[in-house]
Structure formats: C-alpha cells, structure tokens
Structure 1
Amino acid sequence: MKYTGSCHCGNIAFEVDGEVKGAMACNCSLCQRKGALMWFVPRVELKLLTPESAIHTYTFNKHVIKHHFCATCGIHPYGEGVDPNGNAIAAINIRCIEDIDLESIQVQHYDGRSA
C-alpha cells in the first residue's frame, strides 16, 4: 500500500510503500519528547516529494540514527539508519501519515533509555 505524509507545514512531504503492521514507541530522551510512533521500512520504499534542502538532521548519543525534522514547523516525519544486517532503513513517524487510523495500529514499546 502507498501512503503519503508530511510535516505539519508541508515543507517535508513523502510517499512510502509497505504495510503498517505495527509501530514502535521509544522512551529515549528524544523520542519520548517528540512522541513519535515509528514504522520501519527499507529506505528504498521512502520517496521524498520535496527537496532534500528542506530537511534538517539531528543526531545524538551514538550518532547512528539521523533524526530528520522540519526547521519551519519542528515536526519529525522520519529518520534514517541501518538495521542489524547493514541494510538502509527509514523510520517513518506514522503520526505524519495522512488518513491512518492510529487506534488500529499495535504499538510495541522499546526501552531506548537502556540501550
């Protein structure tokens, strides 16, 4: 299934292919504050619809995840990293996907504070 999404102001817009079978809520110092629900997909399934120049990036701790956000509205629509097998992945904030029923998505809680 193809989904569309964006930050609040629309400066970062995207399409992503896949099936949302669940999402992850992390309690690390950043994720807890931004309240994201992350859905992981292969990076090739994410297509940006806006220029990369609209994206700002924040990294912290081990600097392995690129947390992308909009400098205008502050929303974090997705991040990028590498899975344990070395494959490029995108972590899509499903709260930024249009017309998704968040109540129907099973959420797994991850203890990022201890990782």
Structure 2
Amino acid sequence: MSTDQETGAVTTDDVSQPAPLRRFSGSCHCGAVHFETSLDLSKAIACNCSICTTKGLILAFAPTSGFALLSGEDKLKEYRFNRHVISHLFCAACGVESFARGTAPDGSAMVAVNVRALHGVDLAELSPTPFNGRAA
C-alpha cells in the first residue's frame, strides 16, 4: 500500500481478485448524518497519520457511486490539513467523522468511510492493513 504523492490518495499493490462488495448503513453518533455504502472491508486500512491516529479511524474506500448520504448534509463541517486534498467531514452536533471525500489514484472521486461508523460491523473480525500515512 502506498500514497499517491500528488493527490494523497491511498493506493494498493494488491492485484488479487476483489472480494464482493457488501452494502452497509452507517451514521455519526447522534444519527444526524446517515449514509449507505458498498464496501470491501477486507481492504480496510489503519492509517498512522496524525488525524487517523487521534480519531482512531479504520478506513474503507468507495467510489462516490457506491456511497449515498441519506441525511445530514447541512450538519457536516469540513476540516482540511496538510496538503488540503482530503475533505474530512464531521457532524457539527456530535463531532464524529463518518467519512471523508477525496480523490482515488485514478483521479476519480472517492469516499473514505470510517468503518467504526458502520452499523452491524464486528471490528474484532477485521484485520485492517497498517498504512504509513505519516510518511505520505
């Protein structure tokens, strides 16, 4: 796994057959921000950059076509740092970052979903791949 130096997007060198996508719903803590997404949780990462470490984020990625914000667009606040290429979005009411918007290595828009914000996911069953975001 690596980071595209220009966009900051996470890339993977894994060319194995992708696992089938599963449909999930998720939300912030207070429920104001609610979404549905299709993800392959076998590709989840645990990034060690300053923001992911501080927030305890485990991330899985979806193209924008595989993500639907159902409610709470008006509740979202944005935070950008470093190269300002990722739009970290958090609920203004409860402070939870359910997802972020950015650019995939191929230049397409993508969503980085906080796996901890997904409903019905047993985190003990996941093995997120460590990602050295501090070096990115």
TM-score by length of 2: 0.80
Q: Does 1:86 align with 2:107?
A: yes
Measured in 2, the distance between the counterparts of 1:10 and 1:46 equals: 17
Measured in 1, the distance between the counterparts of 2:134 and 2:64 equals: 25
TM-score by length of 1: 0.94
Give the structure with higher Rg (CA).
Answer: 2
Q: Does 1:17 align with 2:38?
A: yes
Figure out how many residues of one structure are paired with residues of the other and give that number: 115
1:45 aligned partner, one-letter code: G
* Of 90-99 and 17-26, the range deviating more from structure 2: 17-26
The correspondence for 1:99, drawn from 120, 127, 131, is 120
The Cα of 1:50 is off from its aligned counterpart by: 0.5
Task: Return 5+ residue gaps in structure 1 as ranges.
Answer: none
The percent identity for this pair of structures is 40
What SS is found at the alignment partner of 1:49? strand
The Cα of 1:20 is off from its aligned counterpart by: 2.1
Measured in 2, the distance between the counterparts of 1:25 and 1:79 equals: 15
Specify whether residues 49 and 80 from structure 1 end up closer, same or farther in structure 2 by C-alpha distance, changes over 3 A only. same
> Residue in 2 aligned with 1:75?
96
The correspondence for 2:62, drawn from 35, 41, 49, is 41
What SS is found at the alignment partner of 1:72? coil
Task: Return 5+ residue gaps in structure 2 as ranges.
Answer: 1-21
Superimposed CA distance per residue, residues 11-52 of structure 1 (whole angstroms, 9 cap, x where no aligned partner): 110001233223111111111100010001111111011041
CA contact (8 A) 1:22 1:105 kept: no
Structure 1 moving runs of 4+ over 6 Å: none
